[in-house]
Structures are given as C-alpha cells and as structure tokens.
Amino acid sequence: MSVQTISTTPFEDQNPGTSGLRKTVPVFRQPHYLENFVQSIFDSVTGYQGKTLVLGGDGRFFNSVAIQVILKMAAANGFGKVMVGQYGILSTPAASCLIRKYGTFGGIILSASHNPGGLSGDFGIKYNIGNGGPAPEKVTNAIYARSREIREFKISDAPDVDLGKTGSVRMENMTIEVIDPVTDYAELMQSIFDFDAIRSLFAGGFRFRFDAMHAVCGPYARTIIEKMLGAPEGTVVNAVPLEDFGGHHPDPNPVNAKELMDYMNGPDGADMGAATDGDGDRNMIVGRHIAVTPSDSLAILAANATLIPGYSGGIAGIARSMPTSTAADRVAVALQVSCYETPTGWKFFGDLLDDNKITLCGEESYGTSSNHIREKDGIWAILFWLNLLAVTGKSVNEIVHDHWKSYGRNYYSRHDYVNIDSRQAAALMDHLRSQLDGLAGKRFGRYMIEKADEFSYTDPVDGSVSGRQGIRIFFTDGSRIVFRLSGTGTVGATLRVYFDRYEKDRIDQDLSAALGELIGIAGEVADIARFTGLKKPTLIT
Ligand code: VG1
Ligand code: CO
C-alpha cells in the first residue's frame, strides 16, 4: 500500500453550479475527471491534515465507484479519518447532520439530486464545509480555478474497501469508519419533533403514503416512519434505492411524482402523501386533492413553528430564495421577525443560519429546512407536517385554507423550458436586460409594471456580492415575474420563469386562471417562443 502521485491535465468545465459539479455519467467516467475535481477540492482548502471527512451519496450509478476513488484520495492527501455511510449511502441532510454532530472538517456528497441517474443519466459531487452546509461561492470559485491549473493528484494504491460491513478499517494512515447512514439522523429528528404525538396519529388510523421514488430516502423513511413512528408497513413505497431510480426523475413535484398524485386524488387516497428527491433534501407535501406549493409550505411551517417542540421558543427569522413566493414575508411581518431574500441555492442560507439571523428557510423548488442542519431536509419537512397534523387535528387541506384565510394566498407557478440552446438562452436574458430601464410604467391589460431589475445579493454577514441572480419584473398590484437560467442542468440551458400573484381575499380561484395574464406578459416581454423555439414550457410545477 503506497501513495501514488499521478500527473494529469486540466478539464475546462469543472465549474460548480447551483449545487456542486453536475455532469452526465459519461463525462464523469472520463479518465481523471473525478480525480481532478476531488484533488481540486483538497487543494483549495487548508488544515485538513489528520481531520475527518464525511462521505456518502444517493446510491445512483457510479456512486460506488466514485466512493472508492475518493477514499483512496483522502488517505493519500492526509485525512485522519473518513466517516462513510454503509454501502456508500448518505442522504444530503444526513451528511450535513454528521458533519455538525461530529465536528468534522467537511464532507463530500455524491449526487445529482433530482436529476435522473443511470448509465447515461447524471452524476454530481458537492463539497460541504465544517458548518455542514454547501461550500460558499468563494470556495467553489477557488475549486474551479484550481481545476483549470491542476497537474497532478494523489491516490493510494490500496485495494477497495468492503462498505457492506459497519466498523473501522485502516488505509495508509487513515481510519475508514463505515457507519449506519440512518442512526444519527433519526436521533436528530427525534430531538426536534413530538414522536409520541405522531405515533398516536398513526395508531388512530391516520393514513399516510411516503413515496421515496427509488431514491435515497427509502431506508431513512422505513426506519423513522414505519419502525419508530409505527406507521403500517408499506406506508413507504418505492422504498428500495435503485441506481437509475427505476428510470424515473427522482424529483418530488406533481408531474414527476405522478404515481403519488394519482393515488392521492383517487378514491382510496390517504390523508397525507409526501415524496422526496434523489438525495433526500427536497420534499413535496400532498393532501386529499391538494398539493401544497413549497412556498406555502415554508410560510405555513413558519406560522405554526411554536407548535413543534424544537421551535417552541419561536423563530429568529425566515429566509427564502428570491424566486420563492412572498407568502413567508407576510408571516415574518406577523411574527415581527426579519425575512431575508437570497439567490437560488442553499449555500446562500449558511451565513444567515450560522449568524442566528434565521431559523427557517426555503425555496420554491420543494426545499425547506431549519437551523438543525445546513441543507434542505425532505424528511424533516414531512415530519414537521405530520407533527402539525397530530397536534392540531386538522387535515392538510384545512391547514392550507386556514393559512390563506389569515394571510391571503400567493398564486404561484414555475415554467421550465428544458435543454434549450445555451446561446439562445443567454440571448433571451440579454434581451430582457436591454429592456430593464424602459419597463417601468408600461401597461399590459390590467397589469402595470412598477419596476424591473436584475437581482444582486450582498451577504449581510460577510459582505460578499453575487450578481446576475435573476431578472425581476414587479407589477403595481404586488405580482412578480422572475426569469433565470438553471445552474443544475447538464445539457444545454434551462430557462425558469416564476409567477407570483398575491390575493388577500379571493383565495379560491383556479390557478391557471389566476396566473393566465401574467404568463402571457412573460411570453411577450421575453419573446420566449422565439428564443427557446418552444410554444409551451417543458415542465410546469
Ligand atoms: C435548482 C433549484 C434550486 C435548488 C437547486 C438544487 O437549481 O431551482 O432552488 O437549490 O436546484 O436542488 P437551478 O439552478 O437548476 O434552478 V437539489 O435538490 O437538485 O440539490
Ligand atoms: Co436534492
């Protein structure tokens, strides 16, 4: 067993996006592609000699190969220990939990999250820092810069490690501790929620369906929901993680989780349904004939937080990503706490959480979480809802409608134009940019534009600035259209258009009727059909 130094040449495209480096599996399988990026991570941080790294992934194709490579590189680069999930499995929130609980130096999570997997699917790698959260931009920029100069990497020639057995083994001067991926995370959940109340809910015949979408949450949900909370066996469906997620998109929204939606809207639908994504950080909450929008979910959790043991003392503040609806803002006003608006991506919440400016945060893309970790957390959000239902005795539908009655309703939708030509996508954004100065005062039917700008964020804790985070058009009635390009895709570009319209009293309108006019305005101002070549969006959520 010895450390090898291997010479290599840089790849030009290892720029981490919204959430780590995401590429197709064939790209990742090029010789040295993974090794270059991992060495670039290690070269961009200092002080890890002898320290501990957390390592795991969502079990998608290439996960088990990549884990072995990273173990050998961590050993060769001088880490003292790696805590790795059994079979190489760790959900993103569980990895964050471990980093924080054991005070490790950082962690590497292998996942392309909600992107499809398999031989020709996507793979990804994220680096998390010692607070348990995604590396901030200053770190990811340094990793990218390093990846363009890298000339060599270090790797041990040790044989592969058996990750099927928990326990410790040695590699070079490093300990590899293979741990159960669920235990620590389950303990954390138990410390936040009223497990007795949820147990009584299930004992009383409450019917729940958890769709793990053949992704990483299956084992977590089986242990927590079925074993610890006593929900009947079979409550968790699609519970076995598969390398290709059964050929599906492991993305918990009403379109990709169609099986769950059909069941919930059918004659035998459960009282509540939920789904999680590839790496377990996203969640969707569904009631009978209602899918809760993620923006509403954040607002509802914030408004009811003191009913949950872990937040009984109240919350310090709320943050939402910019395109997320303003529903949470109204709750913040009522609770007299601050509401922060950040760019898309969880890494922007880290400083606010560390500085105790906020307790809860969320994104419109089915992500919600709190200061208990530094990632979004699918199972946490689902347990929060179960806890709320247990202590209020209300249905999902009643909770949502009661919230709208108190605060008004944000009609909200996101339109995605997927895999469009990258140059055309950039041209569309430039086309919008060029109009920004002249949009205020323009009238479209009953809507008048109040102002338009390009979102730039200054982190209130470290002062770092992130520009070009989306183009916003504000209307005089408080409605908003936002345009931005996705930072998680692997082919071409994806345009996201977000619609948000607030109504204080008229809370029972049909969603498409409520947003129809705004959708027309977006098409006109951005000339969407011309630039994308598409007459309608690829995906509406
Ligand atoms: C998308 C979402 C964003 C989320 C990110 C990672 O990014 O819009 O809200 O944080 O995915 O989620 P983008 O740049 O494609 O819009 V996950 O669960 O894929 O790590
Ligand atoms: Co995810």
The per-residue pLDDT for range 439-460, each reduced to its tens digit, is 999 999 999 999 999 999 999 9
Check residue 409 and give its pLDDT.
97
Same domain, 236 and 271: yes
Same domain, 67 and 100: yes
Check residue 410 and give its pLDDT.
98
Q: Is the CB–ligand 1 distance for residue 486 below 6 Å?
A: yes
Q: Is the CB–ligand 1 distance for residue 368 below 6 Å?
A: no
Check residue 290 and give its pLDDT.
94
Instruction: Indicate which residue's Cα is closest to atom 3 of ligand 1.
Output: 345
Q: What angle do CA 182, 91, 197 make, to 5 degrees?
A: 55
The string of pLDDT tens digits covering residues 184-199 is 999 999 999 999 999 9
The three state secondary structure string of 154-202 is: EEECCCCCCCCCCEEEEECCEEEEEECCCHHHHHHHHHHCCHHHHHHHH
pLDDT confidence of 489, banded at 50, 70, 90?
Answer: confident
The three state secondary structure string of 265-329 is: HCCCCCCEEEEECCCCCEEEEEECCEECCHHHHHHHHHHCHHHCHHHCCCCCEEEEECCCCCHHH
**Mean pLDDT score, 364-393:** 98
Nearest-atom index, ligand 1, CA of 111: 20
Residue ending a domain, among 407, 429, 455, is 407
Same domain, 163 and 270: no
Q: Is the CB–ligand 1 distance for residue 414 below 6 Å?
A: no
**Mean pLDDT score, 87-111:** 98
Q: Is the CB–ligand 1 distance for residue 469 below 6 Å?
A: no
Domain that holds residue 121: 3-180
Instruction: Indicate which residue's Cα is closest to atom 2 of ligand 1.
Output: 365
pLDDT confidence of 488, banded at 50, 70, 90?
Answer: confident
348: left (phi over 0), alpha (psi -120 to 50) or beta: alpha
d(CA 131, CA 90): 17
Check residue 357 and give its pLDDT.
98
Whether 490 has a pLDDT exceeding 90, the answer reads no
The string of pLDDT tens digits covering residues 101-156 is 999 999 999 999 999 999 999 999 999 999 999 999 999 999 999 999 999 999 99
DSSP state of 134: B
Same domain, 375 and 456: no
pLDDT confidence of 298, banded at 50, 70, 90?
Answer: very high
Q: How far is the CA of 280 from the centre of ligand 2 (A)?
A: 6
Q: How far is the CA of 276 from the centre of ligand 1 (A)?
A: 14
Residue ending a domain, among 362, 387, 407, is 407
Same domain, 267 and 147: no
Q: Is the CB–ligand 1 distance for residue 114 below 6 Å?
A: yes
Check residue 281 and give its pLDDT.
98
**Mean pLDDT score, 204-231:** 98
Q: How far is the CA of 114 from the centre of ligand 2 (A)?
A: 5
Q: What angle do CA 390, 394, 400 make, to 5 degrees?
A: 115
Q: Is the CB–ligand 1 distance for residue 363 below 6 Å?
A: yes
Nearest-atom index, ligand 1, CA of 344: 9
Same domain, 372 and 421: no
**Mean pLDDT score, 330-338:** 98
Q: How far is the CA of 392 from the centre of ligand 1 (A)?
A: 32
Same domain, 73 and 193: no
Q: Is the CB–ligand 1 distance for residue 19 below 6 Å?
A: yes
Nearest-atom index, ligand 1, CA of 376: 18
The string of pLDDT tens digits covering residues 382-432 is 999 999 999 999 999 999 999 999 999 999 999 999 999 999 999 999 999
Q: Which CATH number covers residue 424?
A: 3.30.310.50
Whether 1 has a pLDDT exceeding 90, the answer reads no
Same domain, 122 and 207: no
Q: How far is the CA of 369 from the centre of ligand 1 (A)?
A: 14
Nearest-atom index, ligand 1, CA of 17: 14
Same domain, 27 and 174: yes
Is the pTM for the entire model greater than 0.85? yes
Same domain, 218 and 343: yes
Same domain, 403 and 420: no
The mean pLDDT value of the chain amounts to 97
Residues with a known catalytic role:
113
Q: Are 475 and 315 in contact (CB under 8 A)?
A: no
Check residue 504 and give its pLDDT.
94
Instruction: Indicate which residue's Cα is closest to atom 10 of ligand 1.
Output: 345
Instruction: Indicate which residue's Cα is closest to atom 19 of ligand 1.
Output: 113
Nearest-atom index, ligand 1, CA of 489: 15
Q: Is the CB–ligand 1 distance for residue 488 below 6 Å?
A: yes
Check residue 43 and give its pLDDT.
98
Number of domains in the chain: 3
The string of pLDDT tens digits covering residues 250-289 is 999 999 999 999 999 999 999 999 999 999 999 999 999 9
Check residue 491 and give its pLDDT.
87
Q: Is the CB–ligand 1 distance for residue 126 below 6 Å?
A: no
Q: Are 349 and 360 in contact (CB under 8 A)?
A: no
Out of 488, 491, 494, 539, give the residue to mutate to test ligand 1, the one with the largest number of ligand atoms within 8 Å of its CB: 488
Check residue 67 and give its pLDDT.
98
Instruction: Indicate which residue's Cα is closest to atom 13 of ligand 1.
Output: 486
Q: Which CATH number covers residue 198?
A: 3.40.120.10
Q: Is the CB–ligand 1 distance for residue 86 below 6 Å?
A: no
Nearest-atom index, ligand 1, CA of 278: 18
Same domain, 229 and 365: yes
How much of the chain exceeds pLDDT 70, in percent?
A: 100
d(CA 377, CA 443): 41
Check residue 156 and give its pLDDT.
98
d(CA 113, CA 99): 19
Residue ending a domain, among 180, 212, 232, is 180
From the CA of 368, which ligand is nearest? 1
